[in-house]
Amino acid sequence: MLIKVTFLGTGAGTPSRDRYLPAILVEDGQRKILLDVGEGIQYRLLEIGVSPLKITHVFITHMHGDHIFGLPGLLATMAMLGREEDLVISGPHGIVNFVKSNMEIVGDPPFHVQIYEIEPSEGIKDIINEENFNLQCVLAKHTVPDCAYSLNWRTYIGRFNPERARELGVPVKYWKRLHMGEVVVLDDGRVIKPEDVVEVRSSGLVRLVYTGDTAPSDSVINIARDAQVLIHDSTFSAVEDHSMVWNQGHSRSIDAAEIARKAGVNRLVLTHISNRYSDPELLAVEASEVFTNVIAARDLMSLVIFS
């Protein structure tokens, strides 16, 4: 299984020449997941060669415009392109009415939207359970209800069994995908799972946590414990007054680093960066004084978090 993260937009509040509004694409071979959907999302997907029809899930952290105003256009594009596959959307209170009102404008779409409307709390909640994948959330600390998400994958390590694959009539073109943990559908309609042709030796959990907008929060520490990657709000520099920043429901670079340190994550990625900072590396340097394995996200930057 290859899990890749691409930052489609890393800005805060308003777009700039160098930063689109918040949107992150997560790909795991079976799914293409959007974390927040800032304006201009269709253009960003085109730039990286991903069709809007391939998006399987959309997870919205909160109902502020810079995180959701790209969703109406994305839904309209999907309908115009004749999407037929179901789309899964999750978000806090208000997401159902927002999606339904936009779908009324789009018209009667040829696809079904499954919506999970969440009441986030400080305790960790299970939201979605799929094969080898689980979505959890907690309440982040913002000015409106905000879902900090944990995306969790069960991974398998083992030897691919070509003899078994041949017995099942699996074409060679599918072998690599199966070895990487992807479920495939053969031309005759049969569904082949990785465990059908891979001798599993061990399994583990890969976790990616995304906060959306948040001030420092114990609930985020709890959901991020021992995660491979924490993508955290870093709207402001360490030089800004912490009271002002926290009252706005945001974090400074050093706040994000302290959360990462307390949670014991492997890697910290700073995002939602104010346009007042032309070079996000400034924030990464500040954060590195507290937590060493940190980078500041840039638009269209990609990371492989498991392979």
Known binding-site residue numbers:
62, 64, 66-67, 142, 213, 272
Q: Could you tell me if 178 and 251 are in contact, meaning their C-beta atoms sit under 8 angstroms apart?
A: no
- Phi and psi for 121 in degrees, rounded to 5? -135, 175
Name the 3-class secondary structure at 204: strand
Q: Annotated binding site for Zn(2+), which residues? A: 62, 64, 66-67, 142, 213, 272
Distance CA 35, CA 73 (A): 16
Q: Is 163 exposed, middle or buried (0-12, 13-18, 19+ CB in 10 A)?
A: exposed
Catalogue the active-site residues.
66
Which among 29, 34, 35 is positioned nearest to 2, based on CA atoms?
Answer: 29
How many alpha carbons fall within 13 Å on the CB side of residue 300? 10
**Residues paired with 91 in a beta bridge:** 117
Token pair in block for residue 108: 């009667």
Which secondary structure element, helix H or strand E, spans residue 23, and what is its range? strand 23-27
Tokens of residue 303, six digits: 């990371």
d(CA 35, CA 151): 10
Per-residue H/E/C for 99-155: HHHHHHHHCCCCCCEEEEEECCCCCCEEEEEECCEEEEEEECECCCCCEEEEEEEEE
Taking residue 152's Cβ as centre, other Cβ atoms within 10 Å add up to 18
By the 8 A CB rule, do 6 and 33 touch?
Answer: no
Token match 């905000």: residue?
Answer: 146
